[in-house]
Structure 1
């Protein structure tokens, strides 16, 4: 019998060989890291752009702060330290200059290539079809043309009874639950319930009955988890792991997203089975589905986008506006005077009539500046051959973006940027130096938000009806509502508790 074993005299040699191989491997990795670091700091095409050293070497810090929901605030600090153009990843530049909105997002001059959507910010998995938000130029034009019917002036007039009915129900429920102003209401919930019911009807042909039941639908609770999950996948995407993410998605490791999309498909199928034309947002795509060769999955992805963009963002802005008004009583008093002097009854407050409220528009604009629902980036990619942004050349394929929260609070563009001052939107001489074009909450150019007019009309109507009917007071536990909030794709909002006291004479009028 032959025995194979290490001779005691050979053991040190074997162990020494293993240690040498391990040391060699560590040395090679160290040399590689040093080489990559040296290249990205001293030789890379973006080497002239300032930024923190570690961030210029690797995307790991960027991805970490994206997952923690702190990146928008870190970006603001970087702009304060390094200037208007900062390198926050090996191949990514961020801008804090009004001109960057035009250079990156606006319509290009004849013959100039556009900055396309950057796949790292939008394409989380190859298994998810493209939508209007991340499709190429040709497909985007086709989708936008069909969706635009649902956002036209004609459609808005036809949709007014639908929207108005839900706002009526909101006001009724607030009267029923406010207990004469003795019990605080969580307005985060009420705004969410209203905007989801509205978009459910406008996008899918039926509401979620949130206002009727005065309770969250399980789907709405799921959406928050879906957004958080998407932020994590987006952070991993920035590390160059998109092929792996596609595999993870196929293995069912985006469970919240999958569950959400299953509900979208069911709701969309229910809408399509109605078999009648409605003045809603999705009608244009359904009617032309075969002509445009839009499969059911692509239709579902676009329906999901409409649901999220048309509800969560509007509710977020209304929460922000309410908090800002209640912590600035003089502004609330001015808005209350405008609304209550403009109308004699609820019936007079419509999607059209609220357009004459100039201070209301200023309040909403200032709320969009201080608390933008989409606080982060809108990533683009420099076209082939490169392009110029704020007067400096950017190499092709470089990721570029303007971050909304940082540019909205830059003291170079705004006097007292942390102050809530609707007057800056009304030609007040105190704010004559403000760069109002620095704020672009709906983006600019050919891919700006198609729902801008509907969003403004809906926000005006809801806020006007609430201010007309109620005197509001912030509960003590919500006085620091802004503090500690994190932002992923949208804000992670805490409860917003408000005492809603029926305005003098209103409760009697309602009872009558």
Structure 2
């Protein structure tokens, strides 16, 4: 009887033990700050400086911690080792994007590659179109003449300032230059000579970028979406989308016009995409919305990130005269007595390339990259990560990690001269463009612009602070947004170097 009773109790207890063991494993989530019912941790977040706040949280909760954002779970990755786990070892799991109202609405419901929610056949085909037909090395080289022409024109503009020792607003000038280059590559024209069109374009773009970074309560607590309407967010999104859509349709209509006057050799991005659509050269049925989505990606990603990186590079150099002198000596010694440096010559400047890497390390344009979302449940560093979890990779914290970088807050390009670390997505200590399937496909186009602009700014001019300013007056405060621009404009005096 005792034996039978023991077996009976064992049969009751064993399933319960297995259940609780399994349940314990499933709920083994990463640590994180405690939140409140319904809103979770939303009330604790400093939206304007998330990367800084996440960096502080990681010091308390570790390099992988969790957050409850309303009804949505999120994790934050703050080490290169765990970033590799997420972006390489489990890249297929974390290849979705979170579906956020503003981003989806403004990008034609994710009909492009940056904010496309679902990783699948559509996204793979769209990425193939961009990689093969838009961002290939051949295509990037094809646009070198545009970059050269516009950079030369800007150097001439600065030269006029240099003769009178007047102050140059580099922030404004570099945004204008980046915008002109990208608009010519994408549309075949720029708006710099038409003040009304220029103002319209930049206002639209500025509002678009602000809305991409805006937090919609409905994304995290659906039944409280009325707050977004009360704040006027839906109205702003609708207006900006309509304005941008009409603008892009005007561009497309111009390029569809058989009577349009244009260079016979012209082959800008909108023409390439229209050709793919008209000739059915893609496995998906390309629509005008798909084309507009890709054009939006180009305008927002390329203009913003290139200009921001250039301003930060020049900021770092003016604050570090030793580095400025060293990089200018390299460029001028190898560049000779020419009045302009071509792109093929720039490949011979290892120290300048190290300066760009160091700028991207300290001042990467998107400190949290673009968030991802898990497609299914998986395990990261021993912790359970449920499906549909938002993933923030704090690249800013990783690229300033004292366990990886010696004196991480110091601007020291020499660290890259004897190192094979690069930003191509294979070294997780340096991931300004991301890594894995969702790495920025336009990286080569962006780097080409960065190199030719920075090389010629340093080759053609000596740069000084305006009268009355000292190095300590040059701050590194950032504006809020997906792309981190310098808060206060960088204003310097350009001088023609003495022979």
- After alignment, is 239-248 or 148-157 more displaced? 239-248
Show the counterpart of 2:146: 162
Unaligned runs of 5+ in 2: 1-22, 421-425
Describe the SS at the equivalent of 1:232. coil
TM-score by length of 2: 0.81
- Offset, 1:302: 1.6
Show the counterpart of 2:181: 198
Cα 1:402/1:391, change in 2 over 3 Å? same
Give the one of 485, 490, 494 matched to 1:496: 490
- Offset, 1:446: 1.9
- Offset, 1:366: 0.7
Alignment check: 8 A CA contact 2:74 2:390 kept: yes
Give the one of 89, 114, 121 matched to 1:138: 121
Q: Quick one: distance in 2 between partners of 1:139 and 1:198?
A: 29
Cα 1:218/1:502, change in 2 over 3 Å? farther
Q: Quick one: distance in 2 between partners of 1:425 and 1:297?
A: 42
Structure 2 residue 268 is the aligned partner of structure 1 residue 284: no
- Offset, 1:371: 0.7
Q: Quick one: distance in 1 between partners of 2:101 and 2:369?
A: 9
Structure 2 residue 76 is the aligned partner of structure 1 residue 88: no
Cα 1:44/1:207, change in 2 over 3 Å? farther
- After alignment, is 386-395 or 493-502 more displaced? 386-395
Aligned length: 452
- Offset, 1:234: 4.8
Describe the SS at the equivalent of 2:316. helix
Show the counterpart of 1:30: none
Cα 1:348/1:172, change in 2 over 3 Å? closer
Show the counterpart of 2:343: 351
Alignment deviations for residues 190-215 of structure 1 (CA, whole Å, 9 cap, x no partner): 111111000001001112226x9799
Show the counterpart of 2:158: 174
Alignment check: 8 A CA contact 1:313 1:373 kept: yes
Show the counterpart of 2:6: none
Cα 1:278/1:100, change in 2 over 3 Å? farther
Alignment check: 8 A CA contact 1:121 1:379 kept: no
Structure with bigger gyration radius = 1
Show the counterpart of 1:470: 461
Give the one of 404, 407, 417 matched to 1:416: 407
Structure 2 residue 384 is the aligned partner of structure 1 residue 393: yes
Q: Quick one: distance in 1 between partners of 2:202 and 2:90?
A: 39
Cα 1:426/1:391, change in 2 over 3 Å? farther
Alignment check: 8 A CA contact 2:29 2:384 kept: no
Structure 2 residue 337 is the aligned partner of structure 1 residue 315: no
Cα 1:450/1:61, change in 2 over 3 Å? same
Alignment check: 8 A CA contact 1:150 1:283 kept: no
Alignment check: 8 A CA contact 2:368 2:392 kept: no
- Offset, 1:76: 1.1
- Offset, 1:103: 2.6
1:20-59 residue pairs with structure 2 within 5 A? 48-54=29-35, 58-59=39-40
Show the counterpart of 1:457: 448
Show the counterpart of 1:485: 478
Alignment check: 8 A CA contact 2:175 2:303 kept: yes
- Offset, 1:467: 0.7
Alignment deviations for residues 140-192 of structure 1 (CA, whole Å, 9 cap, x no partner): 22222222222222222221111100011010111112344x22111001111
Q: Quick one: distance in 1 between partners of 2:437 and 2:94?
A: 10
Alignment deviations for residues 247-276 of structure 1 (CA, whole Å, 9 cap, x no partner): 987756543444334323323433443586
